[in-house]
A and B are shown apart, each in its own frame.
Chain A
Amino acid sequence: SQTIHQWPATLVQPVGSPLSLECTVEGTSNPNLYWYRQAAGRGLQLLFYSVGIGQISSEVPQNLSASRPQDRQFILSSKKLLLSDSGFYLCAWTPRADHEQYFGPGTRLTVT
Chain B
Amino acid sequence: SQQGEEDPQALSIQEGENATMNCSYKTSINNLQWYRQNSGRGLVHLILIRSNEREKHSGRLRVTLDTSKKSSSLLITASRAADTASYFCATDVIGGTSYGKLTFGQGTILTVHP
Contact = CB atoms under 8 A, between A and B. Distances in A.
B16 interface: no
B27 interface: no
Interface residues of A, number: 28
Nearest to B88: A43
Nearest to B42: A103
A103 B42 CA distance: 6
Contacts of B104: 36, 43-45
Contacts of B99: 32, 49, 51, 57, 97
A13 B45 CA distance: 31
A99 B42 contact: no
Is the contact region of chain B dominated by helix, strand, or loop, or is it mixed? Answer: strand
Interface string B42-62: 111100101000000000000
B106 A49 contact: no
B8 interface: no
A101 B88 contact: no
B2 A97 contact: no
A90 B102 CA distance: 13
A43 B100 contact: no
Chain B contact residues (Cβ within 8 angstroms of A): what range? 20 to 34
B40 A108 contact: yes
A101 B105 contact: no
Q: Which has the most chain B C-beta neighbours within 10 Å: A59, A101, A103?
A: A101
A57 B35 CA distance: 24
Interface in A94-112: 94, 96-106, 108
30 contacts: A34-B100, A34-B101, A36-B104, A42-B106, A42-B107, A43-B104, A43-B105, A43-B107, A44-B43, A44-B90, A44-B102, A44-B104, A49-B99, A88-B40, A90-B42, A90-B43, A92-B43, A97-B92, A98-B50, A98-B92, A98-B98, A99-B100, A100-B45, A100-B48, A101-B33, A101-B45, A103-B43, A103-B44, A105-B41, A106-B42
Interface of B: 2, 4, 30-31, 33, 35, 40-45, 48, 50, 88, 90, 92, 98-107
Q: Pick the 5 closest A-B CB pairs, nearest first.
A: A97-B100, A103-B42, A43-B104, A100-B45, A44-B104
